[in-house]
Amino acid sequence: MPPVRSLCLCLCLAIFLAAVRAAGAAPPNVLFIMADDLRPELAAYGSPAVTPNLDRLAARGVRFERAYCQQALCNPSRSSMLTGRRPDTLGIWSNEAHFRDVNPDVATLPGWFKAHGYQARCAGKIFHNWHTAVHGDPGSWSAPEFLHYANHGDDVPLVTGPLPPNLAVHSPRNYGRVPLDDCRDVSDEATYDGRVAAEAVRLLGELRDGPFFLAVGFFRPHTPYVSPKKYFELYPKDKIELVPNPTDDRASKPQVALSNTPMANYGMSMDTQRTAKQAYLASMTFMDTQFGLVLAELKKQGLDKNTIVIFISDHGYNLGEHGLWQKRSLYEDSARVPFIIRDPDSKANGQSTKRVAELVDLYPTVADLCSLTPDKRAEGKSLRALLEDPNRPWANAAYTQVDFGAVNGKKGGDRKVGRSVRTERFRYTEWNGGETGVELYDHEKDPKEMTNVAKDPAYAKFVTELKATLAKGTN
């Protein structure tokens, strides 16, 4: 940026912040916390899981019951969420490329706050791309990211003792050098999420004069499911319940829809499935504890009264539903995410909303809450009105896609593309434009999405309507 232009921008920002302070109101801070691969498996969402800290946030904020990612895969989802642009707009459909490879001038959410006078800082995994030449997105932050270089499996060399039995042969996913799960009697700080929390606590002290946009990205409960032994003990394996999988459930679905787990449950034994689910739940509760440390420090610093707190996940996760594991499906468990906003000024704190929301809505919502106009290229919709009245009429739909065989920035090739639209009542999905499969699930009667009614004459009218709705929201 030319020196004169840079100086003018700085002066404008200074004048803006001075005017806000002169009016007697400090700009609100933003604490943005993201989990990795977390489905709404929280007590606040009706699960028996142990998540006391997230439950407290839900009780003091607004909980979105129907929030959905744009693609259930880390890089496309995070890139979409943090730019406010859909995967097809960005041209990012897989984990291999950085979004700036095909969109060099895109304005990110933290970068927008940085450009408007905020200190934008980061601890942990917010952007993806830990395995490419560019880690995270350095230009989005006011200072270097902390621990972004950490791989999901790098906890292993940081603690001593033999590795537990490796379940990789029949595991949901293995990164080659680490086991499916890692359960050791170590302190929380012996793992990355413990150190991410410690860094976030330190940053809150450093940023207390504000305004700040602090992003905290936890790695758990992403595989490998690493957490200290005490969290595993909360979930005795013999008490773990598995998802019933009627044979006709998978048989009724298009084969392409099951591409992520072509063999039901990867052929895992029931014992291995219980081990996997136990480890997932344990690492989720471990993450909740680290989240609680950050919120406690926010209150200790006296910052909670002027800080908007947002908790979200990059996408959901399958734990055996339809015989599927992990993400990359177009069913509810993979597409739906936990999403909680606590705005100190919200009239609806303590309530929930069943209105449909998308992760692309995050960018315009946070900007709106902080009286900033979002980048005009952002495609989402501000959810601020729902923070005032969670039950207000809300004509919105959520669009999720999955793309097997995609090449970032390019269309074509041997791709299996699924596109899905979720309304308050229905999920409608087309595979390869409907050529290889169409699905319709009526959530009023079938919340587990077990019965595909796309060819049922009684639903013909809805198929026609939803087909048109789907076309509006995808390219």
Residues 357-414 have pLDDT tens digits of 999 999 999 999 999 999 999 999 999 999 999 999 998 999 999 998 766 766 555 6
Q: In whole angstroms, what is the distance from residue 127 CA to residue 309 CA?
A: 19
| Beta-bridge partner residues of 357 | 67
Please report, in tens digits, the pLDDT of each residue of the chain (475 residues total).
444 444 444 444 444 444 444 344 789 999 999 999 999 999 999 999 999 999 999 999 999 999 999 999 999 999 999 999 999 999 999 888 889 988 999 999 999 999 999 999 999 999 986 555 567 899 999 998 876 655 555 565 455 554 444 333 334 444 434 456 677 788 898 888 998 999 999 999 999 998 999 999 999 998 888 889 999 999 999 999 999 877 789 998 999 999 988 889 888 889 888 988 999 999 999 999 999 999 999 999 999 999 999 999 999 999 999 999 999 999 999 999 999 999 999 999 999 999 999 999 999 999 999 999 999 999 999 999 999 999 999 989 999 999 987 667 665 556 789 999 999 999 999 999 999 999 999 999 999 999 999 999 999 999 999 999 999 886 4
Name the residue ranges covered by the structural domains of the chain.
28-418
Instruction: Give 237's contacts (C-beta < 8 A, 6+ positions apart).
Output: 274, 275, 278
Query: Which pair of structure tokens corresponds to residue 206?
Result: 């450093």
What is the model's pTM? 0.90
pLDDT for 168 equals 36
Q: How far apart are CA 225 and CA 217, in angstroms?
A: 16
Give dist(CA 229, CA 257) in Å, integer: 36
pLDDT one-digit tens code per residue, 209-261? 989 999 999 999 988 888 899 999 999 999 999 998 777 899 989 999 999 88
Class of domain 28-418: alpha beta
Report CA-CA distances (Å) from 373 to 17, 117, 256, 306: 15, 14, 41, 20
